[in-house]
Structure formats: C-alpha cells, structure tokens
Structure 1
Amino acid sequence: MSGDDRAAPPSWQALVPGIAVLRGYRREWLGKDIVSGLVLSALLVPQGMAYAELANLPPVTGLYTSILCLIGYAIFGPSKVLVLGPDSALGSMIAATIVPLLLADGDPARAIALSSVLAILVGVIMVVAGLAKFGFIADLLSKPTQIGYMNGLALTIVISQLPKLLGFSIDAEGLLREVGAVLTGIVQDAANVTAAIIGLASLAGILLLNRLLPKLPSVLIVVVLTAIAVNIFDLGGRGVDTIGVLPQGFPPFTLPIVRWSDLPVLMLGAVAIAVVALADTMSTASAFAARRGERVQGNQEMVGIGAANIAAGFFQGFPVSTSGSRTAVAEQAGSRSQVTGLVGAAVITVLLVFATSLMQYVPQPTLGAIVIAAAFSLADLPATRRLWQQRRMEFALSVIALLGVAFLGVLPGIVIAVALSILNVFRRTWWPYQAELGKTPDRAGLHDLTRYPNAAVLPGLIVYRFDAPLIFANARMFSEAIRGLHDRSCDLRWIVIAAEPVTDVDTTAADMLEELDAWLNERSVSLVFAELKDPVREKIERYGLTRTIDPAHFFPTLDAALEQYVRETGATWRRTEPDT
C-alpha cells in the first residue's frame, strides 16, 4: 500500500474488515474455526467470570462481556487471529476506577452501570483515536516502564486474591495494609481449610498442566474437577463459597445511567485503560502478525478494540483488551479467522440460555487461583533481570513504575509509568550524548576522543557532535558546551558541528545560535556546520541565522569541511596527548 493510500480517508468497507473476511472466507477454514472456537470457549468461560470478580463485578458480567466483545471485534477488528476479552491487567484498573464511586453497600447494579459506562468511554476514546490515526499513543509506555507496571500489577493482584484463594476475606486498602491483613488472617486461623485446599490445589493444577501439558485447557479441567468435588462432597456445607446459579438468558441491551459527578473519575480511568489496552494489543498483534507474515494495522486495531468495548458497554459488560494467552490457544487450535471468536461467543450464549446451572458449583477459591495464575504470567522477572544487566537507568525506571503501582494504586501507577516513559525521552533530549571527534588510522570516519584518546586532530579546529535536536530544553547546555570548548582551547579557529544527529532547531535554539555565533566571532572563531539535514538548514535560513553565520560555513559532509579548513590554514593532523 502506498503512502497516498494510507493517507486517504478510509471507506466504510475499510472500517469494517469483517465484511472483507466473510467475502473472502474459504470453506476449508470452517472446520478449524469451529474446533478452535470450541477450545477457546473452554478458556473464555472460567476466565471471564474470574476477571469479572477481580473487577468487583458479578461473575456473569464476564460472560456478557466475552460475547459482545468477540462479536464487536469480529466485525471491526483487522486481525484474523487476535482474541479479545476480559483481562487480568484491566480487572484491577476497573476496580480501582469504580470502587471509590460505589455506595457503602457496594450495590452490584451500580457497579455494573459504572463499568458499562467505563467500557463505552474506553471504546469512544479508542475509535476516535483510531479514526484520527493516533496509533502512536501505544508508544507512551516504554518497554521498561511497561515491565515494571506489569510486575507491580501482578504483585497487587496476587495479594488481593490470596484471601479468596484461602477462603476468607479482608477489609483493607493499599498493598502494605492488605499484606498485613492477609498475614493476620492466616496467623489467626481465619482461613477455611477446605477452601484453602481447593484453592491451592487449583493453582497447582493450573500451573502444572500449563507447564507439562500446555495444549490441554488447564483452566477448564481444574474448574470441572473442583466443581464436581464441591457437588459430590457437599463442600458448600463446609464453608466453600461457590458462584451459584447464573442469571439465565442472552445479555440484555442496557443504557447505563450514572451521575454526572462520576464522569471525571470514569474518564480518567478510561484514558488509562485505553493506553494499557492499546499497548498490550499492539505488542500482541505485532508478535502474532510477524509469525503469520502479516502487517499490523495500528489505527484500525484501535477502532476494532473500541467497537468491542462499546458493544460490551451496552450489554452490561466492562472494558476489554487483547489476550495473548487466549490468542495463542486459538492459533494453536488452528484458527483461521474471527469466525473462531464468533463460535466462542455462540458457545457462551448457549451456556447462558440453556445451562446456567452448570456453573453453580464452581468454587470461589478456584476463581482466585485462575486470577493468580494469570497474574504470574503478567510478571516478567527475566526481562527485569535483563534490564539490570543491560541498562541500569531503565531498570530504575522499571522499579519506580512497579513501586508506583504497588504503593500508590493501579491508576496512579499507570500515570507514573506513562510519565516516566515521556520523561525518559525528554531526558535523552535534555542531556544528550556529546563528543569531540578525531581521526584514527585504522578506522574510517571520525570517532569519539573519549573512546579513542590517541586519535589525531587538526590544530585550531574542534569537531563536536551533539546527539539530539536543538530545542529550548538543551539550548543552554549546547551553548555552555561550545563556550567551554573555546575556553580550554588555544589558538582555536573553527568549531565544526557534526550536525547529522541534529534533526530540528526551534526558535529558542535559533536565538541561542545567533548569540553564540556573535560571541565566537568576537573571539575570531567560526561556527561551522557539517551534514546538516536539508529541512533543518531550511529552518535556519528561515530564522535568518545566515545573517550572522557565514553561508559558506555550511558543508554537506565532514570531509568537505575539514578539507576546506586544511586549504585555508595548511594544518596537518596530529595525535592528541592523553590526559595524565
């Protein structure tokens, strides 16, 4: 596709990729899509209910959400393989957004309305951003801060689910208080032994099956076995809480009603969820697209995720994102298109309409185990260790993001993570790498004198490289660096700026350059530019800098600048003397 094609306004057909998939659908795909849809539904049902409870919502809303988001993405999503649904990472963010808005009695109907409006807001943000081609928003979360955020999220999820896993409850907010409450409950024998056995056995079963027999639906197997155990041995009578009978029928279309005063909080949560969902989707989409030889359509992905969220929001659902684990299951089962998701939605619908009683014996500790197992997959300790080994600054950013999530909360944590990513980019522009360059006999070009202290230089000339655009944030640093070079150099005649890394010059930097050139001219030193990009050179001319900087002192290459200096001065290369 050409650049012009990408820039053209999308037609309605381009915004609805599901139509193109249906038109090009092959009969031989149907069998594999049906099988993979059946396999996928085995994961969607228990996970949907578990993640709904993580979000402080009734379990059935997880099934409602799964149905509508699968349908919405099948119509508007561009990927043939991605699977959307309730997500463990978003569950904590949803709870962090809606719980402060709930009444003292935690009214489930109000919680559903708040989460539905939250889903609609996320969807609208995504669709508008996709149509406006804001797919780059996913880049707001750098990899180190994303790793730290996910590690912190995994920690908070595990701590919050431990009481459910062990069969008791706590009333505490904040990581330290929750840890204290959990330890107190364990020490004071608040845990229900039977529930704890069910929960710990469920967790061990999921982890072992995932490791030893990864192709089996571990979550479904554990749910079925524990539900049978609860029924046969009447474990409900021993204090093991269960889901109970779910409401019967297809999710009803609902216009969620909330207070106007709720909207600012919901909007803040929606923005944070949209950023996380987009970053997660783009990383997952990129990984699977690379394996299939396909291209990621970032802006259309935003529209697809947005449509899925809006659909869920109008049917008592909550915000959703892409799931790497569910996508992997669908792909391994042979999925060929989004018909897989439609089959999964159909299976859940059949369950809700005809067989809701099947879920009544599913124990709550097992749902806690499902969430904790998912939280383990969020954490990435090997990547954290790699950051420590490769770049300590980015490791520090990762740790700060982790601590922000753990101690300040999920929503402040995502704000901190995004802010750290932006500040890290700004830091590199504010304090860029700088170097004086010299010539080495065994390597082409000019090289950093700090790495090659015996490199040769031309007397009276300094070649200086500044690895960033010249903007208001670093203009003073650049000026002081050049003045410092002048002050410590004898018989200086030229300062040549190796300007290839300078991708921009703003008006603040232009004023600085004009003052700096005048200051150097008073001291019989010329400011010279080499390898300046044409767009940047045009800006300098538009700013009128060539009034002070000699137009003849702009050279296309460093070699051309050095040759001109040698012609004018007769200087020859000589080795520098290393400092002792």
Structure 2
Amino acid sequence: MSARPVLRWLWSIRPERQHLRADVIAGVPGAISSVPNGMASAALIGVNPIHGLYASFAGPVAGGFATSSQLMVVTTTTAAALAAGSALEGVDAADRPQALLLLTIIAGLVMIAAGVARLGRYTRFVSHSVMTGFLTGISVNILLSQLPGLTGAYAAGELAVAKAVDLVFHPARIDVPSLLAGLAALGILIGLSRTRLAAVSALVALAVPTAGLVIAGAGSVTLVRDTGEIPRGIPLPQLPDLGQLSFPLVTGALAVAAIILVQGSGVAEAAPNRDGTPSNANRDFVAQGIGSVAAGFFRGQPVGGSLGQTALNRTVGGRTRWAAICSGLWMIVILVACSRVIGLVAMPTLAAVLVYAAAKSLRPGAFMAILRTGPTSQIAVVTTFCATLFLPVSAAVGIGVSLSLLLQLNQEAMDLKVVQLTPVVGGRWTEHAAPEKLPSYQATVLDVYGSLLYAGSRTLRVRLPDPAGAEAPTVVLRLRGRTAVGATFVKVMADYAAALNAVGGRLYLSGVDHAVAELLRRTERPDLTEPIGVFEATELLGESTGQALREAEAWAVRRRPL
C-alpha cells in the first residue's frame, strides 16, 4: 500500500504557523466551557461527572484530527447523554461505568461503519418535522428530569414526566439550600448570557453558588464527590468488559449513534470551512466515531459534533482544526490541576446548567409553524414528541426513523400526478388533466410527475385512464428521466398493457432510459398478443414521444372500421 495518501493527510492536518497562536488561545475558553457541560452531561447519564470530563479531552483530540468540518468540536452533547442514560437505565449503578465504556465504543464503531459505507446522504431522509419533534422532546425530557436535582428532592417514577409530577405533589421534599444554589446558578447563566462573560458563564454558575454553600456550611447539598471518587490526573486506556454486552445496550448504542450523526450533519452546515472547502458528511461520521471510540477507551461517554461548542470555537477566533484539538489538550491540564476542586461542585448547579441548555434549545416557534403546515407534518411532529417523552430514547429514535420513511413513501405516492400532453404547432406540447376514460381509435399521450417506486407505481395504476368500454385505444406514456424502475412498476405496466390488449389497444412507452428499456424487454409477459412498444430516449427532447405517437395513431387508424 502506498504511503502517499497517509503523507498527504498528515500534511493537510499540520498546524499552520500563522494560525497556531490563535488556535491555542481559542482552545482555552473551549476547555473551560467543557468543564460544566461535560460534568452535566455525565450527571444526566447517571454516572460520576468525571466521565464527562474524560470524554471532553479524548473526543476533541481524536475527532479533531479526522473531521472534514475543520471547526467542528467533537465533544459531549446533552441529546447523546440522554440517549446513553436511557440505554443504561436498567444497569446497576455499580456496573454502569463499565457498561457506559462498552456502549460508547459500540456507538463509535457504528458511526465509523456508517461513514465507511457512505451513509451520510441518508440523513436528509429524516424529515424536519420528525427531527423537530424529537429534539423538542429531548429538551423537555432533560428539563423535567433535572428538576429533582435542581431542588435536591427525591422524586419517584421511571419517566421524567412522572418524576416532575411527583415533585409537584410533594413540595415538602425540596431541600431549600439546594434550590437556592440551583436558582442562583440559573440567574447567573441568564444574567451573563448577553455579556462578554457568556463564554464562561456556565463555569461562573458552578463556582459562585458552590462557594456560597461552602461559606454557609450547607451540608445537605449533594456535591460531585458524593457521587464517586474523583481521580487525579488523566486516565489510562482501559479495555471494555464484554460481560456487560446485552441487546438493550446494543440498541441503545445504535440510538446514540443515530442521534449524534443527525446532529453532526447540522453542525457541519452551521460551521462551513473558512477556506471554502466543502465538508464531507461521511468523513465527519468517521471522525465522530473515532472520537467516541477514543472517549470509550479513556472511560468517557459518547461524543459527537456539538453545535454550542462549535459556535463558541468560531466566536473566540478558532481558525483551523487545531482550535478544537487544543481545547482537548487544555482539558488535560484542567484535569491534572483541578481534580480536587471538581469534587466540591454542587450537583444542583450542574442541574441548572442542563435546565438552561434545554430551555435554550426549545424552539416553540418552529414547533408551532410545523403544526400549521398540514396533517402529515402535524402527525410527524406530535408522534415523535410524545414517543420521546413516554418511551425509551432508542424506541423513540426507531419510531422517528420509521415515521420519516413512511411519510416519504406516502408523500411520493400521494404527490403522483398523471397529465395528458397534446402536440401543437412548432413541435411543442400543451398539458391538460388526464381523462378518466380512453377514447376509441385515438392515441392519448400521458406524462407522470412523482416517484414510480413502490407505492407510487400502484398509485399510477389507479390514476391511469380506464380502457374499459373503449375500442382500440392507444396510450403513449412518457418516462423521460426515469433511470430506474422496480418490479412493481413492471407489473403495473404489464397489467395495463393487458387491459389495453383486451379491447384491441396497445401501450407505448417513450423517452425510456436504455437500462430501463432492457429491463422491460427482459420481463415482457408471454400472454400479451402484442408486446409493449418501447421507444428509447434521444438527445432531442420529445423526439421519441413523437415517434411513439405516430405509431400509436397508425395502430388506431388500422383498426378503425371503414
């Protein structure tokens, strides 16, 4: 194998001297903001917040080398964390860190496989309505699930909605110091959101209320160190425990991978490369997978393209991929120097960070706009939203993907339209509504708008003019631009040709692609007294349709009684 591709890749990712200083500086606020975000994401999964910090150094470094979107930051995201937490819900707390390691690696391998298989183009099949319903449900789920942590109260229930309702009916469980710390953190986040300190607002929201609790001596508030030991320094790579492998873990990893890949596509669109080079969805798939595999081996959680961190990277002056890589390297410095301080952070402040992020990601205007567009979009957005609230995330993802495909097929079938073409002087054609019945001893030229695959072909059969009752009718069906047809279309055409033959008529197909013409000739039905007339497309538009029309008219004339 030639070493040239490897050398070209190494040359393409080298640090650029004129941008290196800006990238190193831009990595500092990226690393600082990753501290509260990473810890909060890990808390959302239900593991020690240190796992989020491990992912926040491994993901940006490993993923940053491979992304085609140079400013994309591959790090923790709340949506992926919620999906991971849902997948690990039935795992004992003692086994959850090992299960998380395995889930993260599996999700990363799935993303790498998706990129190698060039599945990036299929993300566009997830409809906007489904994606909006899913992301809105994710945001509401996160917001409701963090209310007990924000208030320091115990809440019963398997679902986030149930826990929120239980908390509302048992307000006496609320711990006042925890609630005050959480509200203070929210106030700081809101107050600093439009100032120059917005990039470090989450860090300030963790530090100030925590310091106030230490001064006040509020011992009832849960701290990060209460959830488990906070190791000093950076972790050593660790192999997964395959004994944790289970079917729910695998399906959960698939759901995590699907969420990350769809979100990552949006990040690439929002952060185009400064040098004008286009991003490659498949390469970004692989990069996010590499980031997750690396995070898993370093005991982190799943990572993907983060819209918030990528936007911050651009805002603080990141120029190349090394800004994201440097943010991961700066995180290593933070882990080495500040591990003891991390353990003192109050858990209600982490819940406040998640509540604020979830509230910011809510887009009620977009949700309401979809509800005003029509029944199909209404069904999609409401169904996906409810599935995300009341079902495991893996099930909600499956429903969303399936619903997108069903809506796509249904829309293609319903949008199919058959029109009649009539030739006029000058070689041009006029378009009219297709007749319901075919006239006797005449040729009718038809054209089709819409997909002819699967359900579209069956819809076509319903909308073709009925030959029953006519004598020797001929039909020319224009197929210009159709480069592929399926078995359903072939059967529909054969059945329609048989119906025309039964009344002495004949079917002609014009503008047919050469490969489609060969397929039709191979699959001609032997019971047809006259085969289907096939006229292949030429470079001159309308030429093959004109030829088919002349032959169809000649057929009808020969059978007209004297």
- Which TM class, normalised by the smaller chain length? 0.7 to 0.9
Structure 2: how far apart are the matches of 1:207 and 1:16? Answer: 48
1:251 paired residue number: 235
User: Cα deviations across residues 456-506 of structure 1 (Å, max 9, x unaligned)?
Assistant: x99945444443444454444433433x5334x867833332323644322
The secondary structure found in structure 2 opposite 1:529 is strand
Pick from 95, 100, 106 the counterpart of residue 90 of structure 2: 100
Unaligned runs of 5+ in 1: 1-8, 571-580
Structure 1: how far apart are the matches of 2:165 and 2:96? Answer: 27
Pick from 142, 145, 150 the counterpart of residue 135 of structure 2: 150
1:551 paired residue number: 533
The secondary structure found in structure 1 opposite 2:317 is coil
Structure 1: how far apart are the matches of 2:4 and 2:536? Answer: 50
Pick from 368, 384, 387 the counterpart of residue 385 of structure 1: 368
Matches within 5 A, 1:402-481: 402-437=385-420, 445-447=429-431, 449=433, 460-481=442-463
1:293 paired residue number: 276
Amino acid at match of 2:392: G
1:578 paired residue number: none
Amino acid at match of 2:449: D
The Cα shift of 1:210 comes to: 2.4
CA contact (8 A) 2:514 2:537 kept: no
Pick from 11, 26, 36 the counterpart of residue 20 of structure 1: 11
The Cα shift of 1:387 comes to: 2.1
The Cα shift of 1:206 comes to: 1.6
Structure 2: how far apart are the matches of 1:446 and 1:217? Answer: 64
- Superposition TM-score, scaled by structure 2 size: 0.87
1:3 paired residue number: none
CA contact (8 A) 1:119 1:270 kept: yes
Structure 2: how far apart are the matches of 1:562 and 1:75? Answer: 57
Tell me, yes or no, if structure 1 residue 242 matches structure 2 residue 223: yes
**1:15–1:98 distance in 2 versus 1, CA, 3 Å:** farther
Moved more, 342-351 or 332-341: 342-351
User: Cα deviations across residues 67-108 of structure 1 (Å, max 9, x unaligned)?
Assistant: 111221133333321101111001111111112122xxx21x
Pick from 478, 491, 501 the counterpart of residue 498 of structure 1: 478
2:67 paired residue number: 77
- Superposition TM-score, scaled by structure 1 size: 0.84
**1:35–1:259 distance in 2 versus 1, CA, 3 Å:** same
1:522 paired residue number: 502
Structure 1: how far apart are the matches of 2:316 and 2:440? Answer: 67
Amino acid at match of 1:160: S
Amino acid at match of 1:196: L
Moved more, 390-399 or 88-97: 390-399
2:50 paired residue number: 60
Percent of aligned positions with the same letter in both sequences?
22
**1:222–1:13 distance in 2 versus 1, CA, 3 Å:** farther
Structure 1: how far apart are the matches of 2:160 and 2:263? Answer: 24
Structure 1: how far apart are the matches of 2:548 and 2:325? Answer: 70
Structure 1: how far apart are the matches of 2:22 and 2:168? Answer: 48
Pick from 474, 482, 487 the counterpart of residue 507 of structure 1: 487
The secondary structure found in structure 1 opposite 2:183 is helix
The secondary structure found in structure 2 opposite 1:316 is coil
Structure 2: how far apart are the matches of 1:355 and 1:513? Answer: 72
2:108 paired residue number: 123
User: Cα deviations across residues 416-459 of structure 1 (Å, max 9, x unaligned)?
Assistant: 00111111222234444223336699xx8544539xx9xxx999
Structure 2: how far apart are the matches of 1:160 and 1:199? Answer: 14
CA contact (8 A) 2:419 2:448 kept: no
**1:52–1:175 distance in 2 versus 1, CA, 3 Å:** closer
The secondary structure found in structure 2 opposite 1:497 is strand
**1:564–1:373 distance in 2 versus 1, CA, 3 Å:** same
2:335 paired residue number: 352
Matches within 5 A, 1:223-238: 223-234=206-217, 236-237=218-219
Structure 2: how far apart are the matches of 1:554 and 1:229? Answer: 80
CA contact (8 A) 2:296 2:302 kept: yes
**1:503–1:390 distance in 2 versus 1, CA, 3 Å:** farther
Structure 2: how far apart are the matches of 1:15 and 1:182? Answer: 57
Tell me, yes or no, if structure 1 residue 135 matches structure 2 residue 120: yes
CA contact (8 A) 1:472 1:509 kept: yes
Structure 2: how far apart are the matches of 1:171 and 1:12? Answer: 59
CA contact (8 A) 2:147 2:164 kept: no
The secondary structure found in structure 2 opposite 1:247 is coil
Structure 1: how far apart are the matches of 2:298 and 2:7? Answer: 21
Moved more, 496-505 or 158-167: 496-505
The Cα shift of 1:125 comes to: 1.4
CA contact (8 A) 1:67 1:348 kept: yes
User: Cα deviations across residues 211-263 of structure 1 (Å, max 9, x unaligned)?
Assistant: 455854221222232233223333x33x2222237321111221221426x33
User: Cα deviations across residues 30-59 of structure 1 (Å, max 9, x unaligned)?
Assistant: 221111100111210111000000011101
1:166 paired residue number: 151
User: Cα deviations across residues 376-423 of structure 1 (Å, max 9, x unaligned)?
Assistant: 243332222232333441232111111111112211111100111111
Equivalent residue pairs, number? 544
CA contact (8 A) 2:149 2:348 kept: yes
CA contact (8 A) 1:13 1:19 kept: no
Tell me, yes or no, if structure 1 residue 29 matches structure 2 residue 39: no
The Cα shift of 1:202 comes to: 1.8
Structure 2: how far apart are the matches of 1:515 and 1:20? Answer: 61
Structure 2: how far apart are the matches of 1:392 and 1:437? Answer: 30
Unaligned runs of 5+ in 2: 555-562
1:269 paired residue number: 252
Structure 1: how far apart are the matches of 2:381 and 2:277? Answer: 31
Pick from 269, 272, 285 the counterpart of residue 302 of structure 1: 285
CA contact (8 A) 2:153 2:174 kept: yes
Structure 2: how far apart are the matches of 1:356 and 1:281? Answer: 30
